[in-house]
Structure 1
């Protein structure tokens, strides 16, 4: 661990007041940054202190090693490519966020959404592999879906699942298109357009593979009144 206060001049300016201003802390987006840059930011986070939680998103193995060198207690979820410090989420408050994914290939994005909502202080539940190719699967989970204040639905391929879920429950749906699918899915563009054109009301759509944005939006929707 570095012993002196890290110098981020010309590198980053951490928004330490964001939690006080917006109610939610800043996250560190690692993709596109070098491991050394992420290490310097992690050291600055350590100097700031552990309240509130800091999330490091889109972290590859090199980024994760850099963060853990400065914050060895941090939780690392390799599948979600996410690290959290401190490692324990805050006590849940507000309504429940349920995250649903269409298939196993959507799990990394779904877990990013799930962990984001949990670390922003919401009770969470996770429903996996309920794509519309077997409609009975999602119908069998209606009790869990209807217990949510907000539902995140993650799907690639044709992206039909969010519209189906929105037609079955009262809670708002945050739809996440993923880059999963054969060539005509165009790296997530096809499910994105399907979700934007959902005929069921109450569907909001985030960008392709944006599990963090979906989890954050759902946490805000489910915030204590």
Structure 2
């Protein structure tokens, strides 16, 4: 992480392993680095506890690979979301051990020390069609240092499937509920659990679902207390919020 890198750099200057000129050159790029097509935020790990995540959609594969190279720099674990197979193939030319999840459309390059363990996050999906968003959330939560469990295809169309998972629900510190159609699963889980619920509407459904708008409005109007809602298909945003909660829990326990 950036704090460790800064500490090591200062130690190297102190011990005359790095001269002041080289140290200044390294520090110059710490806040951000202008690549012409992107301004890479090197300070985000210092501010937020995790490096900048690359949203790959809309970028060329070469641009994605260059940003990975600048952010990772051999020392940090980096996550790319909404990535294509072409993006992955290009990144793998630089980092052969990069891991691609085709379902979630994520690229992960693991470098340096793993984040300190935080909390327990449960990711639930109403249906199998919601899995791309659910997996994006699960992978994001994992790379940020959380223990993640998955409970998929437990929507309200077969409520007995959900009631069979009560022990898993009680295990979690935070629950992410991913659902399309009418999005009712978030309200039902909110009525069963006392943990924070982060609801993610998906664009899955027939015509009147309006590409996720119906689920979004249903979740926003949930009669269950303790349910918050992120944007349509935003598994990454849900996991980032869940990670912020587990981080606070761990700090309070320390």
1:121-160 map, 5 Å: 121-160=145-184
Indicate the structure whose relative CO is greater, using CA pairs within 8 Å and at least 6 residues apart.
Answer: 1
1:41-120 map, 5 Å: 41-46=67-72, 48-51=73-76, 53-86=77-110, 90=114, 93-120=117-144
Distance between the aligned counterparts of 1:213 and 1:105, measured in 2?
A: 19
| Superposed CA offset, 1:149-197 (max 9, x none) | 1000000001000110011011000000001000110101100000011
CA shift at 1:91, angstroms? 5.8
Distance between the aligned counterparts of 2:179 and 2:113, measured in 1?
A: 26
Structure whose alpha-carbon radius of gyration is higher: 2
Distance between the aligned counterparts of 2:74 and 2:115, measured in 1?
A: 18
Contact 2:75 2:112 in 1 (8 A): no
CA shift at 1:130, angstroms? 0.1
User: Unpaired runs of 5+ in structure 2?
Assistant: 1-32
| Superposed CA offset, 1:46-72 (max 9, x none) | 4x3332x21000001111112112221
Distance between the aligned counterparts of 2:141 and 2:65, measured in 1?
A: 25
- Residue number among 13, 17, 21 corresponding to 2:43 in the alignment: 17
User: Unpaired runs of 5+ in structure 1?
Assistant: 1-6
Which one is further off, 13-22 or 96-105? 13-22
Evaluate the alpha carbon distance shift between residue 30 and residue 218 of structure 1 in structure 2; reply closer, same or farther with a 3 A threshold. same
Contact 1:75 1:87 in 2 (8 A): no
Aligned partner of 2:207 in structure 1 is: 183
Q: Which has the higher helix share?
A: 2
Instruction: Give the length in aligned residue pairs.
Output: 217
The question of 1:219 aligning with 2:249 is answered: no
Evaluate the alpha carbon distance shift between residue 184 and residue 169 of structure 1 in structure 2; reply closer, same or farther with a 3 A threshold. same
Contact 1:130 1:137 in 2 (8 A): yes
Contact 1:42 1:71 in 2 (8 A): no
